[in-house]
Amino acid sequence: MDTILLVEDALELADVIDRELTAEGYRVVRAADGVTALRVHEKEHPDLVILDWMLPEMDGLEVLRHLRQDPSCAVAVLMLTARSEEIDRVVGLELGADDYLTKPFGMRELKARVGALLRRTQRIREVLATDRHPEDSPLTYGPLQLILSTFQARLGDEPLDLTRTEFALLHLLLRNPGRVFARDYLLETIWRGKYEVGDRSVDNTILRLRKKLGVLGDEIETVWSVGYRLRPL
């Protein structure tokens, strides 16, 4: 049974979400403010966090920052917010949110997104477990290091803040330098869930990953009309 941490201070909405997700077979734990959310997260180690942006004491973005500062925390995060401006969505995604839902929303869409994120999380676990390196043997690419056992990434002496999806994508590329991965394959392998023709999830994640990798970002090559590959050293 997947555990979902619901962080929402609007009691009536939280009750509805709790009831709907529980009926789907999920275990739901709740928090009504940011400080409590971090405490519950540390205790429960949920599979998914549904995180409202506007919270008392500590807002959702600050909670997200705290979660992503912990290299051992790779939990998927779905942000909820009444803020519909594009810049607000971009900020949340760049800080490490995996998905974004603007209020008001329907329960059917929420459940679809929750299901897709949890399927993606399970698929990522399977991908990362395949041909696993010894836990004390990081994957390296020049100054870049990925440590699978703790979901840590470092570029030289500096830690890299990667989302779970970014980590899984980079791990796949590092395991297979020179191999071309088609967008459809990456959507099925990393994103595994519902997506539509023209989905830009892969391209947007590659853009963010290149930016975070700095001078190494250009080593992720675009193979036009096909997908992406990591240039062999």
| pLDDT (tens digit per residue) in 198-228 | 567 888 899 999 999 999 999 999 988 888 9
From the number of C-beta atoms within 10 Å of its C-beta (0-12, 13-18, 19+), residue 233 rates as exposed
CB 224 within 8 A of CB 176: no
| pLDDT (tens digit per residue) in 61-96 | 899 988 887 756 678 899 998 866 666 667 777 777
CATH architecture of the domain formed by 134-230? Orthogonal Bundle (1.10)
Compute the distance between CA of residue 136 and CA of residue 233 in angstroms, rounded to an integer.
Answer: 22
Q: Which fold has domain 3-127?
A: Rossmann fold (3.40.50)
Return the domain boundaries, the chain: 3-127, 134-230
Helix locations, the chain, DSSP H: 11-23, 34-44, 60-69, 86-94, 107-129, 164-175, 183-186, 201-213
The backbone region for 69, taken as left when phi is positive above 0, alpha when psi lies in -120 to 50, beta otherwise, is: alpha
Residue 71 backbone dihedrals phi, psi, to 5 degrees: -65, -20
| pLDDT (tens digit per residue) in 131-182 | 444 455 688 999 999 988 788 899 998 999 998 889 989 998 998 888 888 8
Compute the distance between CA of residue 59 and CA of residue 51 in angstroms, rounded to an integer.
Answer: 9
Residue 120 backbone dihedrals phi, psi, to 5 degrees: -65, -40
